[in-house]
Amino acid sequence: MTSSTESRSDSAGATPANPTGPSASFVVVANRLPVERVSGDGDDEWRMSPGGLVTALEPVLRQKHGVWIGWHGVPGEHLEPFEASGIPVVPVPLSGHEVTDYYEGMSNATLWPLYHDSVAFPEYHREWWDAYRRINRRFAQQAAAVAAEGAVVWVQDYQLQLVPRMLRELRPDLRIGFFLHIPFPPEELFQQLPWRREILEGIAGADLVGFQVAKDAHNFVRLLRQMLRYQTHRDRFVTPDRRTGRAQAYPISIDVNAFEELSNSPEVVSRAAEIRRDLGAKNILFGVDRLDYTKGLRQRIQAVGELFSEGRLDPAETVFLQLATPSRERVEEYKRLRDDIELQIGRINGSMGTIARSPITYLHTSVSKQELTAMYRAADVLIVTPLRDGMNLVAKEYPACKTDGSGALVLSEFAGAAEELRQAYIVNPYDINGMKETILRAVGDPPATKRRRMRGLRKQVTSHDIHAWADAFLRDLDAIRRPVAPNHGDEAAAG
């Protein structure tokens, strides 16, 4: 593999890489490649990182000679296409400036907060938008260069909303799917976007558009009708070139078997016991999130802190373990959040801790899947309190790991997962008193009640795994009629 580094170039990756011709009959396009660099002797190697999406798509990628297109995460570094654990990947380079404007700016300081109920103030900058458009075109060109005639291309998430339409213009023969992993905002918020029409048209370039929950699919179709005057009927829409597309909910899930197996492994079982011993508490409350302001960390820490200070949770027998993965650390709101919660935790531990123990154990790090599984196994109560979340996979991973049927899940009603995980202890994270009462119930309910609830959660999660999610989306995409040239078909009759 060859690579070259440039410190500053806005024309990075202008020529799409295409070593073998347009030969892939299945193409995944995502902002990130699912790879991690492993340093060896001499040349670096890359291997697939074990995320849920990769696990779901790996069999399809292998079977259909698929390719994954995405950014490998290092600004200014050019890599040739290569294979990671046997899967061909095509890296899309981003210069330092493009990372600032397209990734940190438009994607994560405009779209991310706006789509999450504006829980942080979205910033609108025309130069960010220009970069977003330019980079989306780069991804589209790359997909057009590797996709075989009639291939299926599956575009992922909010960073690439313009790709479906751009790709269709380049390659009308393709079958294009788009899945939004985060919430789609209600009309009143979406209207704020100065580039709202272009984004809607961009997504509607797909034959099938997937959302986490049905409400978001309805919002999207309604906006197509009201803002773009598209003809629509239920989940179908017709574009001006008389193509029919569909928008539907496909709630994403996790690789349940892999979590169960790992959780039952002797290493994890003994590590979970060790974690319990090390924490030395009767009750372990647990939180694990990317350090993101959408996750409701301030409210969660406030609620737990008050329970300790009011003596309703006893630090001698209860500990709150909060694991926070570093994320988007150059974006202002993320820096502010880290400062805020570290101050909050410091105050709580400073006033209620003893030499022997602190009520909150806080780790600002990412851990291996094995370690995380052991933490899930060790935890008596998992607290998941996003202010808004597309799905929240953590809420599904916990029941999958609680193979002994113990444990309790406290879950925000504003996570997509709350629609399925009805047996969770549901909270409104803005209501601190309500959250405190519910946390106490999750800690203190009789074991039989908790077991019954956990059984319900496990049933839901084990019967809807990530493979079912990918199969359902790809089957529906396959079933959609091929695009037809304008005036040569009868596709305009939606429904």
Residues contributing to the site for ligand ADP (CB under 6 A): 288, 290, 323, 325, 366-367, 372, 391-394, 397
| Residue 75 bridge partners (DSSP) | none
Length of the chain: 495
Q: Is 157 in the site for ligand G6P (CB under 6 A)?
A: yes
Can you tell me the distance from the alpha carbon of 491 to that of 495, in angstroms, rounded to the nearest whole number? 9
Of the candidate residues 56, 140, 182, 439, the single one contacting ligand G6P (CB under 6 A):
182
Residue 397 binds which of ligand G6P, ligand ADP, none (CB < 5-8 A, kind-dependent): ligand ADP
Residue 288 binds which of ligand G6P, ligand ADP, none (CB < 5-8 A, kind-dependent): ligand ADP
State in angstroms the smallest separation of the CB of 325 from ligand ADP: 4
Q: Is 461 helix (H, G, I), strand (E, B) or coil?
A: helix
Contact of 123 with 343, CB cutoff 8 Å: no
State in angstroms the smallest separation of the CB of 143 from ligand G6P: 17
Residue nearest ligand ADP by beta-carbon distance? 393
Q: Is 280 helix (H, G, I), strand (E, B) or coil?
A: coil
State in angstroms the smallest separation of the CB of 411 from ligand G6P: 17
Contact of 65 with 56, CB cutoff 8 Å: no
State in angstroms the smallest separation of the CB of 188 from ligand G6P: 22
Residue 328 binds which of ligand ADP, ligand G6P, none (CB < 5-8 A, kind-dependent): ligand G6P
State in angstroms the smallest separation of the CB of 268 from ligand ADP: 14
State in angstroms the smallest separation of the CB of 182 from ligand G6P: 5
Can you tell me the distance from the alpha carbon of 243 to that of 236, in angstroms, rounded to the nearest whole number? 10
Compare residues 54 and 307 and give the one whose CB is closer to ligand ADP. 54
Neighbours of 209 (CB within 10 A): 28
**Crossing angle for the helix pair 369-378 and 266-279, to the nearest 10 degrees:** 60
Of the candidate residues 116, 165, 171, 181, the single one contacting ligand G6P (CB under 6 A):
181
Which residues of 77-146 form beta strands (DSSP E)?
77-79, 82-84, 87-91
Q: Is 461 in the site for ligand G6P (CB under 6 A)?
A: no
Can you tell me the distance from the alpha carbon of 362 to that of 120, in angstroms, rounded to the nearest whole number? 24
Q: Are β-strands 318-325 and 360-364 bridged in parallel, bridged antiparallel, or unpaired?
A: parallel
Residue 260 binds which of ligand ADP, ligand G6P, none (CB < 5-8 A, kind-dependent): none
Compare residues 269 and 367 and give the one whose CB is closer to ligand ADP. 367
Between vectors from CA 461 to CA 457 and to CA 465, what angle results, nearest 5°? 175
Kindly determine how many residues on this chain lie close enough to bind ligand G6P according to the rule CB under 6 A.
6
State in angstroms the smallest separation of the CB of 246 from ligand ADP: 24
* Binding-residue pattern over the window 300 to 329 for ligand G6P, x denoting contact by CB under 6 A: ---------------------------xx-
Compare residues 239 and 460 and give the one whose CB is closer to ligand ADP. 460
Residue 88 makes CB contacts below 8 A (sequence gap 6+) with 24, 66, 67, 68, 81, 82
**Crossing angle for the helix pair 332-352 and 297-309, to the nearest 10 degrees:** 10
Compare residues 328 and 458 and give the one whose CB is closer to ligand G6P. 328
Residue 171 binds which of ligand G6P, ligand ADP, none (CB < 5-8 A, kind-dependent): none
State in angstroms the smallest separation of the CB of 418 from ligand ADP: 13
Residue 157 binds which of ligand ADP, ligand G6P, none (CB < 5-8 A, kind-dependent): ligand G6P
Residue 337 binds which of ligand G6P, ligand ADP, none (CB < 5-8 A, kind-dependent): none
Using CA atoms, how far residue 72 sits from 232, 335, 346, in Å, is 38, 23, 35
Neighbours of 399 (CB within 10 A): 29
Residue nearest ligand G6P by beta-carbon distance? 181
Can you tell me the distance from the alpha carbon of 467 to that of 474, in angstroms, rounded to the nearest whole number? 11
DSSP letters along 374-422, please?
Answer: HHHHH-SEEEE--SSBS--SHHHHHHHH-TTS--EEEEETTBGGGGT-T
Contact of 163 with 202, CB cutoff 8 Å: yes
Residue 162 binds which of ligand G6P, ligand ADP, none (CB < 5-8 A, kind-dependent): none
Compare residues 232 and 385 and give the one whose CB is closer to ligand G6P. 385
Of 26-85, binders to ligand G6P (CB under 6 A) are 32
Q: Is 436 in the site for ligand G6P (CB under 6 A)?
A: no
Can you tell me the distance from the alpha carbon of 487 to that of 490, in angstroms, rounded to the nearest whole number? 8
Phi/psi of residue 295, nearest 5 degrees: -85, 0
State in angstroms the smallest separation of the CB of 327 from ligand G6P: 6
Binding site for ligand G6P (CB under 6 A): 32, 157, 181-182, 327-328
